[in-house]
Structure 1
Amino acid sequence: MNKPLRIMMVAGEHSGDILGAGLIKQLKVIYPKAVFSGIGGPRMLNEGFNSYYPMSKLSVFGLFEVLKHLPELLSIRRQLRHKILAEKPDVFIGIDAPDFNLKLERDLHQQGIKTVHYVSPTVWAWRPKRIKKLIGSLDALLCIFPFEETYYQQTLVPGFFIGHPLADQYEQPRETEQAKKTFNIRAEKPVLTMMPGSRLGEIERH
């Protein structure tokens, strides 16, 4: 009798929880008996995910907040690493949260665990040297923007474009004029988009 697929994941914030829940839902279609565990939020838990720690423990933002919680974050990552190596899942999937996940993925990959990172770090925009942390650490990097796959084709990182999860949920106006009509905005009016992020700390500070 085949054992159920065991998939361990880590999501560190609200947006990662949304992505993780969607990924679990799709994977269960292909692997209905798969077992999911690690660190996740309420949406992932609703899909049957078993979270070893509250996701809120990882949802810290800003230098001072990170420093304040650094000992606990390092302890959680260390304990989780031991647990993953002991359980030997079929694959580990880090969902965004690169500051927490990339080091964990490298350690696991070196120990023979298959590793996937979901959402490319913005190495193409800033801190490009982070790409060194990706090389040799991942079996796959799942990209949500098409240009990212092209970018990684010039490197040793196995990047694959899988689409943006919100693209299927909302109609995407491609032109400014069309977008203004869609949202009933007068053509001569300027539009300012505010995107504060998904972390409570970001919203409170900005």
Structure 2
Amino acid sequence: MRIGIVAAEPSGDQLAAGLMRELQKQHPQVTFEGIGGPQMTALGLQGWFPMERLSVMGLVEVLGRLPELLKIRKTLIRRWKRQPPDLFIGVDAPDFNLKLETTLKTDGVPTVHYVSPTVWAWRQKRIHKIRAAADLVLSIFPFEHDFLARHGVPCTYVGHPLAHRYPLQPDKKTAREQLGLSPDVPVLALLPGSRGGEVQRLARPFLQTAAACARQLDRLKVVSPLATDRTEAAFRQACEEFTPELDIMLTRNNTAQVLTAADVVLVASGTATFEALLCKRPMVVGYKVNPLTYRIIMGLGMLRIEHVAMANLLSEAPLAPEFIQQACEPEKLLPAVLNFFGDAPLVQGIFREYTRTHESLIMETDTLAAGAVLNLWRERSND
């Protein structure tokens, strides 16, 4: 069984790797080809392009990369038209993958889209593209299934694998020992995103907020886990440019460890807010996009939800303050961060609420996702 698969960023690499591992258990003869990251490569993916070449987000931001992205997609289509895979899985990255899926589906290849596009939040007209592109959507959050089903999109809710992998009771003591942090010092985690554009826009306000915190909190330790060589280099340069006085520890690929060790998290909106929830940590969420992108989104009324952080969408109450676009500046971020350091009852309440949310989300995601993929393949093989 040959599976074509495309993931575009570290969170997708992680999701895809779990699915690939389980598919290999249930169907040992399976092989994978396409685009992915280091975790997928370690499981035998035959990669045709570096995953980082697909990692871009936003309406305006994508324009500068559009020729390259179109060329990559055209190359994939040409290859798979010559030798069609038995099944294709697009992991997130809907602006890239949905067109690829539509083309392959038209040619008779069963298609799966893993992670529902956020049509319930913005750009709802994409639902028609999803229905045309995917034979099956694997949704990772419970509220997505009903929305997709109402619009005639075949969907299986499989849960998010991180909910199963993260412990219900985080071990802060061990995490700090592993990072060489004292158990009695305040720790702030900075997570400025996994994409280069995110780091470029968020590094300055996040670092300046951390530096201001350090001036008010004695012995504060600041730790930032970075996803790639590129983002680490960009963030390190920002440290030198904006806050050379800040004592900060930069680490690689240990987000869970850093979140578990932290007292408070300053985080970019995205998957990392979900991980901070799973670690039961109070968080302040910041985000910036290209100013023109923001004006288009707001001007056309494309955003349909009050909150953007997944932690706020999943918990019963929006417990993570959000500071978007012009509000994502140190003078706004700092009071919210300091409030969490100084309000123990509030932090304890957040811990309890996030624990309840975590418990409700635990599922055997990789097993369920692999089973759904293989069921689709068998059904189509028997047609």
Common fold, TM-score beyond 0.5? yes
Cα 1:63–1:94 change in 2 (3 A) is same
Q: Distance in 2 between matches of 1:22 and 1:200?
A: 25
1:92-111 aligned at under 5 Å gives the runs 92-111=88-107
Q: Distance in 2 between matches of 1:200 and 1:50?
A: 25
Q: Which amino acid aligns with 1:24?
A: M
Deviation at 1:62? 4.2
Cα 1:122–1:29 change in 2 (3 A) is same
Give the structure 2 partner of residue 60 of structure 1.
56
**Greater CA deviation, 119-128 or 82-91?**
82-91
Cα 1:136–1:193 change in 2 (3 A) is farther
Structure with the higher helix share, 1 or 2: 2
Q: Which amino acid aligns with 1:130?
A: R
Unaligned runs of 5+ in 2: 174-187, 203-383
Q: What is the aligned length?
A: 188
Following TM superposition, where does structure 1 have runs of at least 4 consecutive aligned residues deviating by more than 3 angstroms?
Answer: 61-65, 192-197
Q: Distance in 2 between matches of 1:105 and 1:78?
A: 12
* Bigger CA radius of gyration: 2
Please state if 1:69 is matched with 2:57: no
Deviation at 1:198? 2.6
Please state if 1:164 is matched with 2:160: yes
Q: Which amino acid aligns with 1:102?
A: L
Q: Distance in 1 between matches of 2:69 and 2:102?
A: 17
Deviation at 1:183? 6.5
| Residue of structure 2 aligned with 1:146, choices 120, 123, 142 | 142
1:1-206 aligned at under 5 Å gives the runs 5-63=1-59, 65-172=61-168, 196-206=192-202
- Secondary structure at the residue paired with 2:198? helix
Q: Which amino acid aligns with 1:71?
A: P
RMSD (Å), alpha carbons? 2.1
TM-score normalised by structure 2 residue count: 0.46
Q: Distance in 1 between matches of 2:189 and 2:141?
A: 19
Q: Distance in 1 between matches of 2:191 and 2:147?
A: 25
- Residues 24-64 of structure 1: CA deviation (Å, up to 9, x unaligned): 11100011121100011111000011111111110123455
Cα 1:63–1:139 change in 2 (3 A) is closer
Give the structure 1 partner of residue 351 of structure 2.
none
Q: Distance in 1 between matches of 2:77 and 2:39?
A: 23
Deviation at 1:101? 0.4
The sequence identity of aligned pairs, in percent, is 52
Unaligned runs of 5+ in 1: 174-178, 185-191
- Secondary structure at the residue paired with 2:164? coil
Q: Which amino acid aligns with 2:103?
A: D
Q: Which amino acid aligns with 1:159?
A: C
- Residues 91-127 of structure 1: CA deviation (Å, up to 9, x unaligned): 0000000110011111111111110000000000111
